[in-house]
Amino acid sequence: MIIFGWKQLALYKIPLTRQRIFSPENLFLFIGYICGMLMVYSNPPFHSNDEDRHFYNSYFLSTGQVPPRQHEGQIGGYLPVNLFYISESFQGIPFNIGYKINRAKLKELECTPLQEQTKVFYDNPSYQINPVPYTPFVIGIWSAKIINSNPIHLLWGARIAGLIFYLLIVYMAIKFIPIHKCVMMALALNPMTLFQAASVTYDVMNISLSFLIVALALRYALREKQIRKAEMMIYVFISLIYCFAKPGYYIVPFLFFVIPQNNIGSPTKSLAMFVSLCVICCLPSLTWDNYVSSLQLKGGRVLQNDFYGNVHEQLQIITSAPGAFAIHFLLNFVTQGKEWIIGTMGRLGYSYTHLNHTILFIHGLVLFAISLLDSSKNMLLSLRQKMIIGSIGYGNIVIIAVGFFLLSPVGSITIYGLQGRYFISLLPLIFLLNFNRAFWNKFWEKWKNAIIASYSCLLLGYTVYFINTHFY
Amino acid sequence: MDKKELQRLKNLTIYLFPILSFAGYVFFWNAPKVHLINPWYEAFHQVIKAQEILDPLQRQRILNEGGEKLIVLSRRFPQHARVQYYLGTYYDIIGKYDSAVVHAKEAIRLGSGSIVNRVDDLATELLVSVLMKKARLFIDNKDNLTAQYFLREAYAIQPNNIPLLKTIGNVFLNSQSIDSAQWYFGKILTINQLDDEALYFLGYIASTQKRFPDAIDYLERAVAINPNRTDAKQLLSLLKKTSLRKS
């Protein structure tokens, strides 16, 4: 009766309606799990953006090698030789000129033991990243070790753990968000988003928590009830983890101020929240970054040095000619804008492989249409709320772009290293600006879940097929 | 602002935001081609493009223009390894080998030890090639001793560079240092057993040392790998005739 009954879940007295079963969050969980697992296994090992180095960081954490160690002129930690060589064997494969991975070779590598006692010191250029975003992967590595400690299985274990973390957090986000549930579902099942979620990268925590923060802020904003202390503390805690997950998104937690003053209560509460969020923003650099600096580690390998980068010198150049900077900054959006848009939707592998451009363009339009149609009859965002949402969404895009401009080589007029995937976390905010009542219609209201679920299945099916045929 | 106006503004935003975001999306997707390129890439493109120009005057003009820009940039940003490499390439193209060596070495110094976007590998290739060109100038002037100095420097950087080993072998051969020449050609075979040129020279050296069976063996292998090697074929037939006459 519990499993098959449509009317009542006897034990918990929860009405198990068709609507509840096919709710956006449940559909997301189901599709996300199936397609995410397919991506875990179909994406070549150590082959999403910087996945090799993120996995090494996770491995160091899983074996207690935190903080980073000093070894002669190197900074990093010890890796099993087999893990290092298997990971290295998947780097730099020129897929763009038709190279493929041999499945037989992959099968062969799956039989290589980890042999933790034979180690090599890895000079880690990303040693300074704080360990918080790697926690799900550590759990995955520990769990995988129980079953099979082969390096590729460890990676799959870490990927699966990251995927589960993402699915659970975003499930909650879709459940909590009072409006734009379908938009959030579509964004969470966007090929690039799910590809990142099924990889070992700090984007897993960044994207999922970003979605959750947006959901919570809107939940508190669009109800007719004051926010409780416990809820505020939960929000602060999530924001804290979020700030540790990835730098550059410090203004997203300030979405809290989309909540009307009536719902917050006294102005003291608002002030306390504002101060808390400001402190939280500074915490990663005040704690972990300071701690790593205090270790006075010397040497270490750099990721790239073909150009010299120095934020202060670049800032000097910018401030000496602010007009030229403004023009160059805008022109960067014109010249690289398409690449960044593609990067938010379907730039796979080690970020060099695009899905079909026409499909991606249509996908962008579909997301746009969903954001217009996914409206509500009885809820509305005020102009003030939209202004806050827009300022945070677009403001953070500008902050990230300026940050990368400053990190670009001294004297450069183009932005180096900025990828579209950095904007995924901000997409719910950008699309929220389209939320309105004007396009509400009955047909869409009735069929939206089914339409978006089918569409996502189709697009993700194509993505998995693309990965399988392009890389193998 | 009265209530009516505020309401009108609110209504406007219902359409304004979607219209703006849609227009932005379509604009960025189909953005016009805008010329936004960093000065070092622009200068280097000029230097490379000049090579394709047939008119010598125009070619020289564009080459110099690109080169001048690179000189200014390398002074302004002396710590950009890639700019040093580009300038080294420019000097290599115009035949200022000493300057090319200096900038290639600087590019190696600044750009060594990174993981991605490596420039030191390219600069090393450039340095070795420039040193070989420099040595070639002395070889052509029959100054094998000075040539050896540059070749030795190149060898210290890339001991397994086959064209370099061949050049060194030939220099020693020309200066009658047969044992040294044999060593360098022998080294080529440890890197690539199927190098017909090295086999030919080893055969030639063996023939001058009267080790005819060895010479015939080397030459036969060279001809088997490259049947179009007429020098090897001629020497082989000569040796076979000589050995037949002796027997």
Give the whole-angstrom CA distance, residue B130 versus residue B146: 15
Q: Which fold has domain B159-247?
A: 1.25.40
Neighbouring-strand partners of residue A70: A75
Chain A closest-CA separation from residue B194 CA (Å): 26
Structural domain of residue A357, as residue ranges?
Answer: 18-295+307-471
The confidence score (pLDDT) of residue A97 equals 81
Flag whether pLDDT at A392 surpasses 50.
Answer: yes
Cα B146 to Cα B99, B137, B157, B172, B179: the distances in Å are 18, 10, 18, 12, 19
- The CATH code of domain B39-141 reads 1.25.40.10
Residue window 385-424, chain A: list those with CB within 8 Å of chain B. 386, 390, 409-414
Chain A closest-CA separation from residue B126 CA (Å): 15
Instruction: Give pLDDT tens digits for B56-73.
Output: 999 999 999 999 999 999
Query: For A184-200, what is the mean pLDDT?
Result: 96
> Among residues of chain A, what percentage have pLDDT more than 90?
75
Residue A387 lies in a domain: yes
Residue A242 lies in a domain: yes
Q: How sure is the predictor about A5, in pLDDT bands with cuts at 50, 70 and 90?
A: very low
Lowest-confidence region among A30-39, A163-172, A229-238, A302-311? A302-311
Query: For A62-87, what is the mean pLDDT?
Result: 92
The confidence score (pLDDT) of residue A181 equals 93
Query: For A397-402, what is the mean pLDDT?
Result: 96
Is the pLDDT higher at A2 or at A35? A35
Is the pLDDT higher at B142 or at A199? A199
Chain A closest-CA separation from residue B93 CA (Å): 21
Alpha helices in A321-382 (DSSP H): 322-345, 357-373
| Token pair of B18 as six digits | 């979607």
Task: Name the average pLDDT for chain A.
Answer: 91
Residue A370 lies in a domain: yes
Give the whole-angstrom CA distance, residue A305 versus residue B116: 8
Is the pLDDT higher at A377 or at A467? A467
Chain B residues touching residue A409 (CB < 8 angstroms): 38, 77, 80
Instruction: Give pLDDT tens digits for B145-174.
Output: 899 999 999 999 999 999 999 999 999 998
Flag whether pLDDT at A204 surpasses 50.
Answer: yes
Residue window 292-351, chain A: list those with CB within 8 Å of chain B. 301-308, 328, 331-335, 337-338, 340-341
Residue window 108-137, chain B: list those with CB within 8 Å of chain A. 110-119
Let me know if the fold of B39-141 is the same as that of B159-247.
yes
Flag whether pLDDT at A6 surpasses 50.
Answer: no
Q: How sure is the predictor about A14, in pLDDT bands with cuts at 50, 70 and 90?
A: low
Chain A closest-CA separation from residue B157 CA (Å): 20
Residue A151 lies in a domain: yes
pTM of structure: 0.88
Task: Please give the distance of CA B206 from its chain centroid, rounded to a whole number.
Answer: 33
The confidence score (pLDDT) of residue A299 equals 83
Query: For A295-308, what is the mean pLDDT?
Result: 88
The confidence score (pLDDT) of residue A138 equals 97
Please give the interface size between A and B, counted as residue pairs whose CB atoms are below 8 Å apart. 110
The confidence score (pLDDT) of residue A2 equals 39
Query: How many domains does the structure of chain A reveal?
Result: 1
The confidence score (pLDDT) of residue A440 equals 83
Residue A221 lies in a domain: yes
Instruction: Give pLDDT tens digits for A134-145.
Output: 999 999 999 999
Q: What is the ipTM metric for this complex?
A: 0.86
Peptide bond between residue A67 and the one before it cis (omega within 30 degrees of 0): yes
Q: Is B77 on the interface with A (CB under 8 A)?
A: yes
Chain A closest-CA separation from residue B73 CA (Å): 9
Cβ–Cβ gap A304/B32 under 8 Å: no
Cβ–Cβ gap B80/A434 under 8 Å: no
Domain boundaries, chain B: 39-141, 159-247
Give the whole-angstrom CA distance, residue A124 versus residue A61: 13
Cβ–Cβ gap A306/B111 under 8 Å: yes
The confidence score (pLDDT) of residue A13 equals 63
Chain B residues touching residue A125 (CB < 8 angstroms): 115
3-state SS assignment for residue A347: strand
Cβ–Cβ gap B115/A413 under 8 Å: no
Give the whole-angstrom CA distance, residue A280 versus residue A98: 47
- Give the nearest partner residue to B77 out of A331, A411, A436, using CB atoms: A411
| Token pair of B169 as six digits | 């072998």
Give the whole-angstrom CA distance, residue A346 versus residue A341: 9
Flag whether pLDDT at A422 surpasses 90.
Answer: yes
Flag whether pLDDT at A51 surpasses 70.
Answer: yes
What does the radius of gyration of chain A's CA atoms come to, in whole angstroms?
A: 23
What residue ranges of chain B have pLDDT lower than 70?
Answer: 1-2, 244-247
- Give the nearest partner residue to A364 out of B25, B111, B119, using CB atoms: B25
Query: For A157-171, what is the mean pLDDT?
Result: 97
